[in-house]
Structures are given as structure tokens and as C-alpha cells.
Structure 1
Amino acid sequence: MAARSPSLLLGLLLAVTGCRAGCVEVDSHTEAVLGDPFKLLCISCKRRSETTAEALTEWFFREEGTQGFDKILRYEPEGPVVVADGRFEGVLVWNGSRGTRDLQDLSVLLTNVSARHAGDYVCRVERNLTFEGYVYSLALNKTIRLAVVSKATRDMASIVSEIMMYVLIVVLTVWLAAEMLYCYRKVAAAAEAPAPENASEYLAITSESKENCTGVQVAE
């Protein structure tokens, strides 16, 4: 959605500590715009990259105002994508990992969001990890509560980030102007001062002026 870049960048930076072998678990956005496409993001990282694994995923949905979850999609690497709910026929498509049996990106895409797509989604991953002599199975659920709006709204993180950017620009501009004014006054004062009596005094004045203005020249 609009103006998501700052919040997305912050989320990525916070998630780096949980990264394994290039996989980063990032939470999905939770606000979709009516009539636009929307990606339901579901990332499940394998903790040990050297371990052989196979995975499959199922997605479930509970529409707002209803009870219970319905299965809407099933995906496994060597099988077709199965959309199991008529409300999502022609709308819900697979948008995750391809060409591997070890699924870590389990995301799906709503190509055209409607009001009835608002509600709770559950991304379920079932993974078999193969160790020496045995297979360990585990399952994990991730829940996403999706709201559908008529127009994109900006989140607080993006607004604060933009305000801080403008404040920083103003502060740096004022600081640079003050440094330039200070340097100008020092040079003017040196030009108006009586001529030095010897070469060593002249060199000392010149050296002082250069040192005071070095910061301004670098900033420019």
C-alpha cells in the first residue's frame, strides 16, 4: 500500500536477528484496498539450512461475522494449487516458493480484493525434517487479520519517519548556514587586520583560518 517503505524497512531491520540462511520472517500487512491486489505474506524459516526438509501448506479463512474456519487453498511442491472455496476461485493464487520441496515462502495473492475477503486468515505449514536415521515432523500456524478499506491510509510509523526526515534536513541546513557565516566573519576579520610583521605570523593566521573552515568545505 502507499507509503509503506519506511515501515517495511523497519520490519526488515528488526527481523534480521531471526534470519537463517537468507530467510527473514516478516509479518504480513493487514490492510487491503478494495479492488486492488494484495499479498498475504507468510514466511516460515527453517532453523538449520543444512537439514533436508519437505513442506506443504494450507490456508484457512474465517469471514467477518461468521464462525469457524474454512480451507481455501492447499499447495504442495509436486501437486497442483488447489483452491477449495468458491469465494476465492479466480482470485486467490500461489505467490510463494517454487522449484523446491522445502517451502519457506508460503505467501498467496488476492488479485482483486472485495469486501467479503475481510476476516481472519491462517497459514499452516507442515514440515518434515530429515536427520540421520529419523524424520521429525512439525506444524506451525500463522494468523493474519485482514481489513478491507476503500482508500489506503498511512500508518503512524511512516508519518513519524517522514517528519523526522524533514526535521533532520532543517537542522543540517541551519548548521551549515551558521558554519558558513562563522567562516566568512573569520576571513573578513583576517583581511581587515594589520599586516603581520613577519612570515611566521602570517602562516599562523592562514593555518587558523583553514582549520576553522575545513568542516564547511567537507560539508559542501
Structure 2
Amino acid sequence: MGRIFVASGTEAVLGAPFRLLCIACKRRSETPAEAESEWFFRPEGNPQFQKILHYSPEEGQWVAPGPFEHVLSWNGSRGTRDLQDLSVFLAAVGRDHAGHYVCGLRRNLTFEGYTYSLARNQSLRLAVVEKARRDLASIVSEILMYVLIVVLTLWLAAEMLYCYRKVAAAAPPPDSASEYLAITSESKENCGGVQAAE
């Protein structure tokens, strides 16, 4: 009745804020539900997970004492008893925050006559780096953007040149234009003479 999507691995910059994303979407939004979330952490090389955060709409958040105290906070759904966003926020990433995380969901779905309970867990690995590294996708997208700008500029220049040639070809030669002006002035003089004769 529910599905969680979360990144399987990601990097955070040392000393910078970072959001650990976890989304728990319900397949049938019309079904009433109540949910709560727990986050667990296992440092690199440690075999056991420890609970670092618990959040419920009634009680709010609880953060375990230790390296996450005053750093980790709930950053997911608020103002509803059915949590869809289970994300948490690290105000400043430290070296001791690198490791494996588990985002847990417990949801009670209320149907006519009975309640259905489900639990889902999803894990992710967080690596802490000194500087942000650009991934291949951002580099490729930036190159494609510059290529597109050059192509559009060349296309615009070609269109302007084409339009200029079309306008120049359609314009009358200068001699015929002067003859037209002379004929127009003569016709005006004749009209004046006719009116004077009347």
C-alpha cells in the first residue's frame, strides 16, 4: 500500500548543510492513514545501527544524544497525520556523519472495519568530502547548453541574412522610384489646372 523512494548513495560537503531525502508515497490517497518515522545510523566499520531520530505528528521529533544532537532535525511532512515526506536535515555535516542510514516508516491504514499496518525501510550511504565535485551529468549539460547557444546564434544570423536578401530583391530600383515620384507630381499639377478651369 506504500512505496518509499530514496537515493542509494550520495555525497555531502564537510561543514555544509545537507538534506537526507526519503519519500513515502501512498498509492491510494483517499485511504485515511497515520504514520511515524524513525531514522537509524551505522558509522563506517561499525556492525550495528543506532536510532538517531524519531518523529510522530503528535509528539514531534526526538534526536538521540551524540554527534547528531543539535545538528539533525526533521525536514519532512508537517501538519498532517499521514507522513509522505520523511526527509531529515543536517545543519552542518561532520566527518562522524559519514556512514549508512536507514529511513523507516510505520503507517496504519484505516479501512471500513479494520486497520492495516505496514512498515517499510530504505537505506542510503552518505560519504563526506572536502569539496563538492561536479558529476558527469552537470558537465555534459553545461557543454550542451553552450553548443545550443552557438547553434541558435548561427541560425538567427542566417535567418536575418535571408530576410535582408528577400527585402533587397523585392525593392524597386532607384530609377523607377524617381520616375514614379515625377509622375505623381505631374498628376497633382494637372488636377490643380482642372480645378482652376472650372
TM interval, short-chain normalised: 0.7 to 0.9
Which has the larger strand fraction?
A: 2
Distance 1:28 1:192, change over 3 A: farther
Q: Which sections of structure 1, spanning at least 5 residues, go unmatched?
A: 1-19, 196-220
Deviations 1:69-97 (A, max 9, x none): 11111111111422224121111111111
Pair 1:154 & 2:134 matched: yes
Bigger Cα displacement from structure 2, 176-185 vs 107-116? 176-185
Judging changes above 3 Å, is the alpha-carbon distance between structure 1 residues 188 and 26 closer, same or farther for their aligned structure 2 residues? Answer: farther
Instruction: State whether structure 2 residue 78 is matched by structure 1 residue 98.
Output: yes
TM-score normalised according to structure 1 size: 0.72
Partner of 2:30: 50
Give 3-state SS (helix, strand or coil) of 1:144's partner.
strand
1:178 pairs with 143, 158, 165, which one?
A: 158
* Structure 2, unaligned runs of 5 or more: 177-198
* Structure label with greater radius of gyration: 2
Once the two structures are TM-superposed, the CA of residue 29 in structure 1 deviates from its matched residue by 7.4
Partner of 2:120: 140
State the identity %: 71
SS of 1:88's equivalent in the other structure is coil
> Where do residues 69-148 of structure 1 align in structure 2 (5 Å cutoff)?
69-148=49-128
CA offset at residue 113 of structure 1?
0.7
Q: 1:189 to 1:119 in 2, by over 3 A?
A: same
C-alpha displacement of 1:26: 6.3
Supply the AA of the counterpart residue of 1:157: A
Higher relative contact order (CA 8 A, sep 6+): 2
2:23 counterpart SS class: coil
The answer (yes or no) to whether the contact 2:8–2:123 under 8 Å persists in 1 is no
| Residue of 138, 147, 156 corresponding to 1:167 | 147
TM-score with structure 2 setting the length: 0.79
In the alignment, is the contact (CA less than 8 A) between 2:20 and 2:89 conserved in 1?
Answer: yes
Q: Secondary structure at the match of 1:45?
A: strand
SS in 1 for 2:85: coil
Comparing 38-47 and 183-192, the one that deviates more: 183-192
Counterpart mapping for 1:17-56 below 5 A: 27=7, 30-56=10-36
- How many equivalent residue pairs? 174
Secondary structure of the 2:165 match is helix
Mapped contact 2:107–2:117 kept (Cα < 8 A)? yes
1:61 to 38, 41, 62: 41
Return the alpha-carbon distance in structure 2 between the equivalents of residues 28 and 43 of structure 1.
13
Aligned amino acid, residue 43 of structure 1: I
Q: 1 CA distance for matches of 2:143 and 2:151? A: 12
Going from structure 1 to structure 2, the CA distance change for 1:29 and 1:168 (only over 3 Å counts) comes to farther
- Measured on the aligned residues, the alpha-carbon RMSD in Å equals 2.4
TM-superposition CA deviations, 1:114-155 (whole Å, max 9, x none): 011111111000101001111111111121211111111122
Give yes or no for contact 1:72–1:88 (8 Å, CA) kept in 2: yes
